[in-house]
Structure 1
């Protein structure tokens, strides 16, 4: 294996990462997120064997 490509994460696109983070923050700011409490409740149900659709934002 060449030194230039040791693994998948060596060539990280920092500009794409920054754009993705900015887009995610804008979505959260506009109310498109899912609350931590809703996710925790869903996960507790899954752990108890109660299957239901994941929470949506």
Structure 2
């Protein structure tokens, strides 16, 4: 593996780890203004999730 590719890979891993770590949620352990959705702290529920106050519940619309 070339030295440039190793460096680029290392930078990508560091950036991804930094982006994921602060948003990582434990159940009910999000800061004020955030809610838990699929293991992450978010300000608003993503598509397919229902807002239930402090957390977002997945809506199964397949049935």
Q: TM-score, normalised by structure 1?
A: 0.29
Q: Which protein has the larger Cα radius of gyration, Structure 1 or Structure 2?
A: 1
Q: TM-score, normalised by structure 2?
A: 0.28
Is the strand fraction higher in 1 or 2?
A: 2
The higher-RCO structure (CA 8 Å, 6+ apart) is 1
Is the helix fraction higher in 1 or 2?
A: 1
